[in-house]
């Protein structure tokens, strides 16, 4: 007795659930229905893309694997976001990733959509061995300068980890800390640990700026996150700086009464 074929809708649901063995997929390739062929093509493209992301993520682990083979167990990635804005804090994150976790598609937070950043943020909070995020406010930035504030935020992020790091991978900076360090230019695109720190810091800073948008609605902080957009500069000239503005930055300084 000939086995009854699945309907196209049934096949779509099976593929969506990922509940199909390779041999079953090969059988479906023989199905002459155009709808089935379209579903199989889409599914195989999805599988190929997933494999690509996994391979790219493994490339992001090359420095971690190399240092782990030399005996370093808890490598913390460290990164900051928010050096350039005219308002809001500079924010740093530190993260120690587990050996066995895989985060396909994780990369520099600037290259990810807001939806993707939120997705990885939740994933990292659940699976990271340890992480910590620190904000340094505008007032402190004005008193010690943005470079020193960024460095201070990074130091505090490392200090706040629940597990003591025995090595640091830092994005384009060396920190005055006793741990062995690797400074990587554009490290958030080269190291999974730094990319994780970048995402954690970016999401928390953006959330802070969205909160400040409710406090100072005229400035549109939720749209530009404190960067010097045309609308932000117009609001600055019209209403003057808020306590969130970095008064040592030229465009803000020019608006001081």
What confidence score (pLDDT) does residue 1 get? 43
What confidence score (pLDDT) does residue 256 get? 87
Please give the model's pTM, rounded to 2 decimal places: 0.85
β-bridge mates for residue 95, sequence order: 77, 131
Separation of alpha carbons 194 and 200, rounded Å: 10
Domains of the chain are 8-59 (no CATH), 62-211 (3.30.420.10), 212-253 (no CATH)
Distance of CA 210 to the CA centre of its chain: 17
- Reference 72, options 195, 185, 181; nearest CA is 181
Angle, helix 192-215 to helix 114-127, in steps of 10 degrees? 120
- The list of the chain residues with pLDDT below 50 reads 1-2
What confidence score (pLDDT) does residue 30 get? 79
């Amino acid at each position: 007795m000939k086995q009854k074929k699945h309907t196209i809708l049934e096949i779509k649901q099976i593929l969506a659930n990922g509940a199909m063995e390779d041999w079953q997929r090969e059988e479906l390739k023989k199905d002459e229905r155009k709808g089935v062929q379209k579903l199989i093509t889409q599914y195989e493209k999805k599988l190929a893309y997933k494999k690509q992301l996994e391979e790219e993520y493994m490339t992001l682990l090359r420095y971690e694997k190399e240092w782990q083979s030399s005996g370093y167990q808890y490598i913390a990635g460290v990164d900051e976001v928010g050096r350039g804005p005219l308002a809001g804090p500079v924010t740093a994150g530190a993260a120690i990733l587990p050996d066995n976790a895989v985060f396909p598609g994780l990369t520099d937070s600037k290259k990810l959509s807001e939806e993707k950043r939120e997705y990885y943020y939740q994933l990292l909070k659940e699976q990271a061995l340890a992480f910590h995020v620190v904000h340094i406010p505008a007032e402190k930035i004005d008193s010690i300068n943005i470079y020193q504030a960024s460095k201070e935020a990074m130091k505090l992020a490392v200090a706040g980890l629940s597990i003591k790091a025995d090595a640091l991978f830092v994005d384009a900076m060396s920190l005055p800390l006793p741990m062995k360090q690797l400074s990587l230019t554009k490290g958030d695109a080269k190291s999974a640990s730094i990319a994780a720190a970048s995402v954690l810091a970016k999401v928390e800073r953006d959330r802070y700026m969205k909160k400040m948008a409710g406090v100072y609605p005229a400035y549109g902080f939720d749209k530009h996150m404190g960067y010097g957009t045309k609308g932000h500069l117009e609001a600055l000239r019209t209403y003057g700086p808020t306590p969130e503005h970095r008064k040592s930055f030229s465009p803000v300084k020019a608006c001081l009464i």
